[in-house]
A and B are shown apart, each in its own frame.
Chain A
Amino acid sequence: MNTNLIVLPVIVPMITGIILLFFYRQVKVQRVLAAISALAVMALSLYIVYAVQQQGILTLRVGHFPAPFAIVMVADLFAGIMISLSSLVSLACLFFSFGTIDAGKERHFYYAFYQIQVMGINGAFLTGDIFNLFVFFEILLIASYILLVLGGQAAQLRESLKYMIINMFSSVFFLLAVAVLYSITGTLNMADIAVKVSQAPEKGLLTAVSMVFLVVFGLKGSLFPLYFWLPRSYFVAPSAIAAFFGGLLTKVGIYASIRIFTLIFTYDTSYTHNIILYMSGFTMLLGVLGALSQNDFKRILSYHIISQVGYMVMGLGLYSPLAIAGAVFYIVHHIIVKSCLFLVAGLTEKVTGTTDLYKLGGLMKTHPVIAWLFLAAGLSLAGAPPLSGFFSKFALMQAGLQQGRYGIVFVAILVSFLTLFSMMKIFRFVFWGVTNKEHPPVQGLGYLSLVPPVAILVVLSVFFGLNAEWIMGVATASAEQLLDPQAYIQAVL
């Protein structure tokens, strides 16, 4: 199916972003336009998921050039799920921004670059061309530099500088890998590359290229040993931005690695995917250990991003239908719950002015709504049974046990327990105990206006837990598509 529909989730935020640049003084206009655009993208991406389920993989050859020469956009089920999630989280974080981002930032192009960021993320999910993937990565990175440093406080500048340099460095390696891949295959179309790679007589250099890609996407997705930049840079961002980045940015890297390691580099899975599996184990373990050593709400959550990313990559490393389905389900669960937890941290910061665990306490009495939202989201993150975290982890562990990978399953279970421990630590310090006299929380019910975006995400997590069979069915269908590159190749070429 060749359709113009799938370019819209990229075009709509781009046009909105450009329009918003002209209205930088009228904050109200910016808010309304940004909200309309986010809602439109949400509707579009849900429709794309529906269309993919009805008609199979959708493609668009831009300019209608013949197959391997045109730049292609491809929406399979996995990409459809990802753009729906990205539009959901961007919508929630946008509404949260309305109440938490100060007016100075709003007047300095906050919403415009927010839209550009959404454009970059959706483009990275939908593109079928490896060089366009690079370009969309750059778009989302440039927007993220700006959103991270907006406000220009000393700590923000310090961390953004490091974040920028690291990402520039990884972009250079991305470009290198694309160059070498192009010199081997002579094409940039990912489906065509997959065909050429499977026919290539000499695979040695290709494996080297695949490892460069793993390093690049590992840096973006914060895999062991490339996650060091993440906790500090996410800590300095405003909560709405931290939630947006924490939910989506690393997942773009994970999405890209799942894409290329199920489509292109599948000729020697016992070597490449084994490396990925080991990386995932260390990522989980070291991420959660980092979280245990921290005493700040947002820092703990940042370290948990790292440990959670390990689970998704574990699914890729195991490389069986059930494991990939588990990974897809886990991504769905994680994006929702992680953004939600960061927004809860933002609510706490809004009412108390701090996220330091030792300066907080007793919020259960004064702000029970926040406490209950955190409890549901935190338990879901740790994997307590009726919530979405449990079923996604269950699928991954079942896949691990089926393949006899007991070591990684042990690590995954251990990390689950430690996650529960650190969620309880947050709960114990922030919500239980007595109110800290030196940092009294703001009284009143004004904070309730910020609750709806958070509550929607919590409700979705519970919903995905209670309807695990349905969402697992969707995840299994997308895993089948991912593990059958021929369908993708036929749709594109």
Chain B
Amino acid sequence: MELLMSLVIGIMFAVSIYLMLARSMLRVVLGTVLISHAANLMLINAGLLKRGAPPFVTGDKNLAVVDPIPQALILTAIVIAFGVTAFLLVMAYRGYQELGSDDLSELRGVEDEH
């Protein structure tokens, strides 16, 4: 199962990097969304996909439980990625309005340098 997950994560990374290299702003934003998902999957994989009981204290010392920490970390990471993505989308839209283009090769901004 971990191997399959690793392959999925690898493919997601490849896809998101391909998207981030695109010239269209929206594709780059989608790329950042996807890459943060890939990182979250990687985190859950890091705790190993053990099949155990929920991590509650029951008194039974021999009961195998799932490691709760990666899930707590992912929850935090998802919230952060959600907030930043929302902000990035607004920025991309405002940028499109102000700059009149969503083509990144037109947004190099060298004209004001000497």
Contacts and interface: CB of A to CB of B under 8 A. Distances in A.
B87 A142 contact: yes
B48 interface: yes
Given A142-B84, A295-B114, A165 B46 contact: no
Interface in B65-98: 69-70, 73, 76-77, 80, 83-84, 87-88, 91-92, 94-95, 98
Nearest to A132: B76
Contacts of A299: 113
Nearest to A135: B76
Interface in B28-70: 28, 32, 35-36, 38-40, 42-43, 45-48, 69-70
A149 interface: yes
A160 interface: yes
Interface string A178-204: 111011000010000000000000000
A100 interface: no
Contact of A157 (B45, B99, B113): B99
A169 B46 contact: no
Nearest to A162: B107
A160 B94 CA distance: 11
B88 A138 contact: no
Contacts of B77: 175
A172 interface: yes
B47 A149 contact: no
Given A131-B73, A155-B112, A158-B95, A183 B87 contact: no
Contact of A161 (B38, B80, B95): B95
A36 interface: no
A157 B35 contact: no
Interface string A129-170: 001000100100010011001001111011111101100110
Given A138-B84, A142-B83, A176-B39, A165 B20 contact: yes
Nearest to A156: B98
B87 to A, nearest CB: 7
B20 A169 contact: yes
A135 B80 contact: yes
Given A131-B73, A152-B98, A165-B28, A183 B47 contact: yes
B43 A175 contact: yes
Contacts of B38: 172
Contacts of A154: 98-99
B40 to A, nearest CB: 8
A161 B46 contact: no
Most chain B CB inside 10 Å of its own CB: which residue of A162, A164, A168, A169: A168
B42 A182 contact: no
A296 interface: yes
Contacts of A274: none
B109 A158 contact: yes
B109 A232 contact: yes
B91 A164 contact: yes
A294 interface: yes
Contacts of B39: 172, 175-176, 179
Contacts of A153: 98
Interface in A20-57: none
Contacts of A295: 114
Nearest to B100: A154
A164 B92 CA distance: 11
A158 B28 CA distance: 14
B80 A155 contact: no
A430 to B, nearest CB: 16
Contacts of B94: 152, 157
Interface string B8-24: 00000000000010000
B1 to A, nearest CB: 15
Contacts of A155: 109, 112
Contact of A182 (B32, B70, B80, B95): B70
- Shortest beta-carbon contacts, A-B, top 9: A183-B46, A179-B46, A157-B95, A179-B43, A175-B39, A154-B98, A172-B39, A295-B114, A168-B32
Given A145-B84, A157-B91, 9 more contacts: A142-B83, A153-B98, A165-B32, A169-B35, A172-B35, A175-B77, A182-B47, A182-B69, A295-B114
30 contacts: A131-B76, A135-B76, A135-B80, A142-B83, A142-B84, A142-B87, A145-B84, A157-B91, A157-B95, A158-B107, A160-B91, A161-B95, A168-B32, A172-B35, A175-B36, A175-B39, A175-B40, A175-B42, A176-B39, A178-B73, A179-B39, A179-B43, A180-B46, A182-B70, A183-B45, A183-B47, A294-B113, A294-B114, A296-B113, A299-B113
